[in-house]
Structure 1
Amino acid sequence: MMISWSLCLIFSLFNSLLTFASPAKQLCRSDQKNALLEFKSEFHFNGMAANEKTQRWTNTTDCCSWDSISCDIKTGNVVELNLWGSSLNGSLRSNSSLFRLQHLQSLSLSPNNLAGILPDSIGNFKYLKVLKLYGCSFFGNIPSSLGNLSYLTHLDLDGNDFTGELPESLSNLHQLTNLLLASSKLTGNFHHALLNLSELTAIDFSSNQFEGMLPSNMSSFSKLEYFDMSVNSFSGPIPSSLFMIPSLTRLNLEKNIFSGPVEIGNISSPSKLQELSLGGNNLSGPIPGSISKLRGLVDFSIFLHLKSLTLLDISHLNTRSMLDLSLFSNFTSLTLLHLSGNNLHISSTLHLPSPIGSLGLSSCNISEFPMFLRTQTGLARTSEWLWTLPGLGYLDISQNSFSGFEGTSDVIQRSPIEMLDISSNSFQDPFPLLPNSTRIVVASDNQSTLVLTNNNFSGSIPRCFENFNTTLSVLHLRNNSLSGNIPEEVFSASLISLDVGRNKLSGELPKSLINCTKLEFLNVEDNEVSDTFPFWLRMLPNLQIIVLRSNRFHGPIFSPGDSLSFPKLLIFDISENLFTGVLPLDYFAGWSTMSSVVYIAYDKLHRFIGFTFSNYHKSVVLANKGKEEERKQDEEKEEKDQVLSWIAAAIAYAPGVFCGFVIGHILSSYRHDWFLRIFRSFA
């Protein structure tokens, strides 16, 4: 026995020495390397991120040593491919060499520009455990072949443009723990077959177009921790079984059409729920309960049993029941409390724990500031003492009855508040004094106007503008130092005027603008926007001014067989870009307003850019025979001169196309000599 063990030890050491002495052997199999190199060649890359990840991908090196690659040390098979944020551009073909990597266990292509159909071949990775394809611009149906991935534990398809219903084959993924399908355009019902996926810990279907009722037996998800169905069209009652899931910590059902009372069943063990969002539904009372006495028509005391709550949003419950704020006086972990749109009772002796950082009390019929706010030293949400809170960053007192601020100018101006919402109150002229640090102010009644031009703002455009996504009609961020992409989320369906000119913005022109059917004025001049010509702008029926000048737009502005019609367009400037190609003689045939006599009434010009002329400084750049001239109109100038300057701008932007202007009754009362001088300069 001892001799045998000695021989084995000697042989092992000898083998190790041979290994060290011999030339380095590549672990990666040649067929795997070839598949990866071919896959790389299927795409074109933009940016340094791609170069950094794939620069070592050469035929002379071991593919198992490449960045973003992991191999099985025994077989040399590639088991992990992670090209996260590699600026891949091109579609994922059904015959892509990627699908020759049959031993993949983890695949991440997020986020890249893979616009196209997700091929059925994705279901051929029989060993796959993790699939991350969020933000890849896939569209069409989710392939049913995904149901073949029996080992899959993590499926992330967030942020694509998938349509159609969810394939029932997903119910075959019995080892799945994360099912993430947010922010697409999926429709249909919540399949009951999904209840078979008992290993799920996270489900996110938010921001889709799902409808119908949730299954009543949701407690089948016995390991569920995170459940988000927000921003869909789910209806019917909220299943009480959701509250029976002992592991659930986050539940978001806001902005659906759920109705009826909120019923919480008998909870046998302490709930772990930490975040609960039910706002924006059609919930009503009464809520029957055996745990405590009813308070009015809604038994809000059901929340007393959720002692671990850190975030609670029950805004706009659509009930007339009185909610006593003292109900939350013992919630020592609560950091966010949103009760907007409810009928509140606030005692003068009320005390709430100080960890609260976000408190939403809009539309609560409050006419004076509650005294309990004195103790909220961490509140990030006006009597004078409120302005002195060191953590005050966001103040929302919208839809109440406030008419002014209390406090000296010195105290108010030194407040650290950056965002202020005082809309739908009783404020009158003069406009209330604001803190010097305030960057965003919402003071509208119905429609919002946000003009932050001629400042020195830097960084990216904040996505917080999406909070105004039903009211924002004017968004002007001109002449700042903003950078990054223009976010898709900031555009309101009510948008009339958008001006982000003279910044450092890059990326593509957001296609979500196609939803802004009221848009009249669009200016993105003097940026670094890199995109092809936005032919889809012709879908905007009211567009009158397009300025894309001085960017990196490229490619043709004419597509054979695809007529480009702008029936209301008056100003069109695409100069100083990288456009190529030839225009047919009838290119402007569908631009009827430009090619005929135009009747421009004063009120039409008055709202060209969505706000009153007397409120803001405005400028327009005129291109005349290769020269540029900036015409600025200050607040002190007469509105008559301002109207005529817009007429001059229209003529300058389309010389030879306008046949003339009939100004109607306005021209007779205006300064003829000024108008004729400008007209002759362009003639």
Structure 2
Amino acid sequence: MSLSVLFLYCMIFASSFFLMINALTCRQDQIQALMQFKNEFESEDCNRSDYFNGVQCDNATGAVTKLQLPSGCFTGTLKSNSSLFGLHQLRYLNLSHSNFTSSSLPSEFSNLKRLEVLSLASSGFTGQVPSEISNLVLLTHLNLSHNELTGGLPLVRNLTKLSVLDFSYNKLSGAIPYDLLPSLPFLSYLDLKKNRLTGSLDVPNTSSSPRLVYLSLGYNLFEGQILEPISKLTNLTYLDLSSLNISYPLDLRVFSPLKSLLVIDLRENRLLPASLSSDSDILLSLDSLYLVQCDIIEFPNILKTFQNLKLLDISNNLIKGKVPEWLWKLPRLSIVNLVNNSFTGFEGSSEVLLNSSVQIIDFAYNSMTGEIPVPPLNSMYYSAWNNSFTGNIPLSICNRSTLVVLDLSYNNFTGPIPQCLSNFKALKVVNLRKNSLEGSIPDEFYSDALIQTLDVGYNRLTGKLPRSLLNCSFLKFLSVDNNRIEDTFPFWLKALPNLHVFTLRSNRFFGHLSPLDQGPLGFPELRILELSDNSFTGSLPPSFFLNWKTSSPIINKDGRMYMGDYKNTYYIYEDTLDLQYKGLFMEQGKVLTSYSTIDFSGNKLEGQIPESIGLLKELIALNLSNNAFTGHIPPSLANVTELESLDLSRNKLSGNIPRGLGSLSFLAYISVAHNQLKGEIPEGPQFSGQAESSFEGNAGLCGLPLQGSCLEPPTQQPKEEDEEEEEEILNWKAVVIGYWPGLLFGLVIAHAIASYKPKWFGKIVSTDKGKEVDPVRLFMTLDSRWDSFNDKDSVEQETDMKK
């Protein structure tokens, strides 16, 4: 029996065996209905095993009673005649995080009369909620959050068994139905956040308070009249009234009756100063308090009475002076966010935090000076970036074995980097960027080091790159730019399996960039490589970029993937990087890793630009300026379809500008100034919209945007250039073939086994393909380093701390 036949037989047997397993509990007609439902959509990311893992059937009847799709499983339109609506015995249906693009909610959901749980969150539904949804009288959980639903809040008075109701993050408008709470006696969780609702709540005047414990109404169009009825909900433990849109300051004392309240979020409301300084008997049980962007000018003394407080977020206010010493004596305090105020320091000595219970503290973006306080003993996250602290980094940090994130960047620290920072087992982030540190980078990284980000850019460091970095197998982000490090290119770092971002810009690196075997560079996961303004020499082989690839990215909640996925329940850390883009240096607050950038400018590189650059399909910025490259501009650049910024200026390039560059629809900046190019500048908006300076210094170039026009009539020169370009591509392909002499034989064998063709290179995934280019796509604000997480399915405290 041949290998290919054996492989096919095994696949058929596995498939049949799987069907047999499911047939033990699910009737065949039910399995067929489920498969028909799956086939109604694009489901490339939803294999059969994942799909059926979310299926349960009744042991007695064999009918499907539960269906939970894996996240992102289906793409397409959910139609009213879908086979889904024939599964009449369903009690639990979760289609959340599907891509039902431009689908309205079919009224046929009402056919599933036995449903107890219906979750359609984040699935792309639009339009109004059908009134027939109220026929599902057995529902206990209804979640339609994070869609594009419009119209009024649907009438759900018939759903008397509801305990969880979530319509948050839609576009619902109008008033809340007057009988919403009176008609739902078992409702404990109500989330209407981020809509366009108005009016008030009607709270029944009964002897017993409603069962509601979780209420989120933030970011709507409510006015002050909603506060009085909320004060009657005495069982509330969680309350979100962020951005209430009221015209007068909010008085905290209105919440005095809420004796059980644990979490309150009042961000983006103006607060009555008297209620912040009061020591009255209010909110004494409070666990978490969010007063973000409330125009507070003095530190709230009312916090002295909150002895149960664990989480305090007073970021983005106008508070001046020093942080009071009494704050750190609150016995249960563990998370403090003081970001973006006008604090000048801390009351007390440098050891004021020493005995505090705080584990996560962020006081970035203030005006603090002098010596930095010693971190608390159990610190996990310690961020002081963008202040004006001076002196040495305290050696007492070496005793904080629980520290995971240490960010002291953008200060005025001097002296050496403590040696201990290279041998912490728990540390994942060390960011000392933009200080005045001296000496060398510590060279004591252990083999089990967890470090993922090391940023020591913009200091005065000397010496060489520490060879013990080879022990940091989790390292993703390495930045040593703008120092005085003198070393050769660290080819040895290619052994790091996860290195995504690597910048050596503006140091004293020297020597060749090409490997000794003149093969590919050998950093398979690299997305961003920044080597500008050093003294690298030599030429790059044609196959230099041949084996660059990228794994599938993890998409963040805003649709992108960022560096710095160091997630805690209460924070997410994101890396910062300076990139030269479209001729400008810009600081990027969130480092996207779903694209690729390369900057080799300001070195002494020569020879031809490798044709293999055309393999980097998702490259968005390429800067090879200020070198000594010769030969033609690679025609393969026309394959780099995501390219937005191209700088080849100040080299010795000759020949014509490839006309194929005119097909790059995202190309917004191009400079080929000061080369030896000739011929007519290609037509098209990518070229005509550039400044004249982008093409100056090329005596043989003519056409727009240069002044005047090409005087000579067209000749056969372009054809000759095309032939030369084609010859270059053929020569490059020959190099590729020569690099793998056994590739053809391997492909034949692979085809005989499984008809499988291995890829030579990976494609860097773009999340914005086909969209109009906007600078926002690259450069996000620095205010986003404190992000949020919000658990919609529990009545636990909301842990939403964002700047």
TM-score where L is the length of structure 1: 0.57
User: 1:261 matched to which residue of 2?
Assistant: 250
By how many angstroms is 1:181 displaced? 3.6
Indicate whether 1:483 and 2:551 are aligned. Answer: yes
SS class of match (1:139):
strand
Query: In 1, Cα distance between the equivalents of 2:651 and 2:497?
Result: 34
Paired residues for 1:34-433 under 5 Å: 35-36=33-34, 38-43=36-41, 45-47=43-45, 49-51=47-49, 53-54=51-52, 68-71=55-58, 73=60, 78-85=64-71, 87-115=73-101, 116-159=103-146, 161-186=147-172, 193-196=179-182, 197-206=184-193, 208-210=194-196, 212=198, 215=201, 222-229=210-217, 239=227, 245=233, 247-253=235-241, 260-265=249-254, 267=256, 271=260, 273=262, 275-283=263-271, 285-287=273-275, 291-292=279-280, 300-316=300-316, 318=317, 320=319, 325-342=324-341, 344=343, 346-348=346-348, 350-351=352-353, 354-369=356-371, 371=373, 373-381=375-383, 383-385=393-395, 387-388=397-398, 389-395=400-406, 402-405=411-414, 407-408=416-417, 410-411=419-420, 418-419=428-429
Deviations 1:305-324 (A, max 9, x none): 544333222222x4557685
Q: Is the 8 A contact 1:523 1:548 kept in 2?
A: no
- CA contact under 8 A between 1:412 and 1:434: conserved in structure 2? no
Q: Residues 341 and 364 of structure 1 are in contact (CA less than 8 Å); yes or no, is this contact kept in structure 2?
A: yes
Question: Does residue 658 of structure 1 match 2:672?
Answer: no
Counterpart residue type for residue 129 of structure 1: E
Q: Secondary structure at the match of 2:150?
A: strand
Equivalent residues of 2:562, 2:593 under 8 A apart: yes
Identity %: 21
Name the CA shift for 1:101/1:376 in 2 (closer, same or farther; >3 Å): closer
Cα distance, 1:128 vs structure 2: 1.5
SS of the aligned residue for 2:413 comes to: coil
Aligned residue for 1:373, secondary structure, equals coil
What SS class does the counterpart of residue 329 from structure 1 fall into?
A: helix
Instruction: Report if the CA contact (8 A) 1:384-1:408 is conserved.
Output: no
CA distance in 1, matches of 2:358, 2:66: 43
RMSD: 6.0
Q: Mean alpha-carbon deviation: is it higher for 93-102 or for 78-87?
A: 78-87
Partner-residue secondary structure (3-state), 2:412: coil
Greater relative CO (CA pairs within 8 A, separation 6+) = 2
Structure 1 639/32 Cα, relative in aligned 2: closer, same or farther at 3 Å? closer
Q: Alpha-carbon deviation of 1:154? A: 1.0
How far apart, in 2, do the equivalents of 1:202 and 1:177 lie? 6
2:198 & 2:441 partners in 1: Cα distance? 46
Q: How many angstroms does 1:105 deviate by?
A: 1.9
Describe the shift of the 1:252–1:391 C-alpha distance in structure 2 as closer, same or farther (beyond 3 A): farther
C-alpha distance after superposition, 1:151-179 (max 9, x if no partner): 211122344x3231453313543322222
Determine the C-alpha separation between the residues in 2 that align with 1:443 and 1:213.
Answer: 53
Instruction: Give 1:185 deviation, angstroms.
Output: 5.0
CA distance in 1, matches of 2:239, 2:55: 35
Letter in 2 for 1:623: P
Q: CA deviation at 1:293?
A: 11
Unmatched 5+ stretches in structure 2: 1-22, 283-295, 384-388, 446-450, 459-476, 482-490, 502-525, 530-544, 564-580, 584-591, 598-611, 665-679, 702-716, 727-803
- Work out the CA distance in 2 between the residues paired with 1:627 and 1:109: 38
C-alpha distance in 2 between matches for 1:305 and 1:211: 35
CA distance in 2 between partners of 1:173 and 1:374 (Å): 50
Q: Distance in 2 between matches of 1:190 and 1:243?
A: 17
Q: Match for residue 439 of structure 1?
A: 453
Residue 641 of structure 1, aligned match among 651, 654, 672: 651
Q: Supply the AA of the counterpart residue of 1:402.
A: N
1:99 is paired with a residue whose SS is helix
2: CA distance between counterparts of 1:652 and 1:170? 58
- The answer on whether the counterparts of 2:360 and 2:379 sit within 8 Å (CA) in structure 1 is no
Q: Quote the offset at 1:26 in angstroms.
A: 9.2
Amino acid at match of 2:402: G
Give the AA of the match of 1:641. Answer: N
Contact kept in structure 1, 2:54 and 2:69, CA below 8 Å: no
- Hey, what does 1:565 align to over in structure 2? none
What's the secondary structure of 2:109's corresponding residue?
Answer: helix
The residue identity in structure 2 corresponding to 1:99 is: F
Alignment of 1:560-571 (within 5 A): none
Deviations 1:66-125 (A, max 9, x none): 97132273x665433334448334432212232233332211223433332220111232
1:409-428 deviation line (CA, Å, top 9, x unaligned): 535555665446789xxx57
The offset of 1:611, in angstroms, is 9.1
CA distance in 1, matches of 2:235, 2:456: 40
Decide whether the 8 Å contact of 2:312 with 2:337 is kept in 1: yes
Aligned CA distance change for structure 1 residues 106 and 217 (closer, same or farther; 3 Å): same
Q: Secondary structure at the match of 2:403?
A: coil
Q: Is the 8 A contact 2:139 2:159 kept in 1?
A: yes
- Does the CA-based 8 Å contact 1:198-1:221 persist in structure 2? no
Deviation at 1:189, TM superposition (A): 5.8
Normalised TM-score (structure 2): 0.50
Contact 1:164/1:188 (CA < 8 Å) preserved in 2? no
Contact 2:322 2:347 in 1 (8 A): no
2:89 corresponds to which letter in structure 1? H
Q: Which runs of 5+ in 1 are unaligned?
A: 1-24, 55-65, 445-449, 463-474, 493-497, 501-518, 528-546, 552-572, 576-607
SS in 1 for 2:108: helix
